[in-house]
């Protein structure tokens, strides 16, 4: 850059506009910028930068099968199928047990299989109604009992197997209904809720498998029943002894339907 030029007084403005100085300042000085940034516009003697409208600034929508880091994730309907797979495995762990076995626990500071069944459903609907839709609990009387904040010594008075079954089935229907609406775009912010719903479902699936492990221990170690075979699915494995669905474990998936 050359030595700074003294400001031109206002009285000399007309002379400045007619002089070669204007050409040096505007044309010569701005030409490299114009080549580097074509969106720059020169209006008269004022240098301005045209700001695109917000719609021009919005990035191209990324594939919804990827999270914010760009790593591949399951699409929502595929995750719903994995949710059903996890629930089906839970059913294999308890459906052949007697009501007494479902509600039995070895000591006061422990949880019966029935409590885990109710807790899985309670957490699923708690997350659905708080993260995606404000809807009432299917069975409010069970919420306090089935919450993990309830100490184990107070988990003994469980509802009947029929009530537990109805609670679990109703919650699964609500999960499918709400996530189905998101997958089909029948919500106000479908892309935002797709991100929320993907992570929510993944958490619910792995939470289901987490408690399945503890149900398995009561079933096999305390009640003496054989365990069913593990479910099989892409990216379903065991980590620290627990079944875990890891959506980042290779492979590509389709986007939101």
As a whole number of angstroms, the distance between CA 68 and CA 125 comes to: 25
Q: pLDDT by residue (tens digit) across 55-107? A: 333 333 333 445 544 544 569 999 999 999 999 999 999 999 999 999 999 89
Residue 152's CB is within 10 A of a number of other CB atoms, namely 15
Burial status of residue 210 (CB atoms within 10 A of its CB: 0-12, 13-18, 19 or more): middle
Burial status of residue 86 (CB atoms within 10 A of its CB: 0-12, 13-18, 19 or more): buried
Q: Which domains does the chain have, with CATH numbers?
A: 19-53 (no CATH), 76-245 (1.20.120.450)
Q: Which residues of 28-48 are buried (b: 16+ CB within 10 A; e: fewer)?
A: eeeeeeeeeeeeeeeeeeeee
Q: pLDDT by residue (tens digit) across 195-246? A: 999 999 999 999 999 999 999 999 999 999 999 999 999 899 999 999 999 9
Contact 115, 103 (CB under 8 A): no
């Amino acid at each position: 850059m050359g030595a700074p030029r003294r400001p031109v007084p206002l009285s000399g403005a007309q002379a400045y506009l007619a002089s070669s100085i204007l050409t040096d300042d505007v044309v010569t000085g701005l030409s490299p910028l114009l080549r580097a940034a074509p969106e720059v516009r020169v209006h008269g003697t004022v240098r301005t930068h045209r700001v695109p409208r917000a719609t021009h600034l919005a990035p191209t929508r990324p594939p919804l099968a990827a999270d914010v880091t760009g790593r591949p994730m399951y699409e929502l309907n595929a995750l719903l199928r994995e949710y059903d797979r996890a629930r089906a495995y839970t059913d294999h762990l308890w459906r052949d047990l007697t009501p007494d076995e479902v509600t039995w626990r070895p000591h006061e500071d422990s949880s019966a299989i029935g409590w885990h069944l109710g807790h899985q459903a309670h957490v699923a609907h708690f997350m659905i109604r708080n993260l995606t839709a404000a809807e009432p609990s299917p069975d409010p009387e069970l919420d306090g009992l089935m919450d993990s904040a309830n100490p184990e010594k107070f988990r003994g008075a469980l509802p009947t197997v029929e009530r537990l079954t109805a609670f679990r089935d109703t919650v699964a229907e609500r999960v499918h209904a709400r996530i189905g609406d998101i997958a089909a775009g029948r919500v106000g912010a479908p892309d935002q809720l797709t991100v929320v719903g993907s992570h929510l479902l993944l958490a619910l699936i792995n939470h289901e498998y987490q408690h399945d492990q503890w149900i398995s221990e009561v079933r096999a170690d305390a009640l003496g029943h054989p365990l069913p075979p593990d479910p099989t699915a892409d990216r379903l494995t065991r980590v620290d002894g627990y079944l875990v669905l890891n959506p980042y474990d290779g492979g590509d998936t389709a986007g939101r339907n």
